[in-house]
Structure 1
């Protein structure tokens, strides 16, 4: 679970990246889930675009992918959303520490 400070930090990082995946008319398929899983392991922070011909909203697609990959939703804006998951092999992004 991300704190608001961590979420703000990740949003600022995601501002400069492009969407690397598109959720099309087939929705969230097992193949898409697997490729997003691999991308999260490699990059930790990804942006995904939802096409207009999809029956899912960006928030619904983000929720489905996040739950199926174990990622956190950073933000949903328009037809795009950002996911984050810390890499198990070699973490790259260091989040601000949460206050206790």
Structure 2
């Protein structure tokens, strides 16, 4: 579980990132989760955007993505989700 200070740090780090995954009207699926897990292992911090044609609640999508991928939910702002998971092999981010 991340502390408030760590979440603020990660939000600042994620500010300049562009979303690398999109959740469309099909919602989340196993294929998307697997790709998110692989990207988190390489990058540790990613953004996921929710497309306008998705009618599901953005907070439910965010919690489902974080639970199923084993990542920490850093932020949901608008239709953008920020996820963090410490990498086993490619550790780059040092949390305060």
Tell me the SS of whatever aligns to 2:25.
coil
The RMSD of aligned alpha carbons is 0.8
1:82 aligned onto 2:46? no
Number of residue pairs matched by the alignment = 96
Q: CA deviation at 1:24?
A: 0.6
1:18-97 → structure 2 map (5 Å cutoff): 18-96=18-96
| Residues 18-67 of structure 1: CA deviation (Å, up to 9, x unaligned) | 00000011100111000000000000000000011112222111100100
Q: TM-score, normalised by structure 1?
A: 0.93
5+ residue gaps, structure 2: none
TM-score by length of 2: 0.96
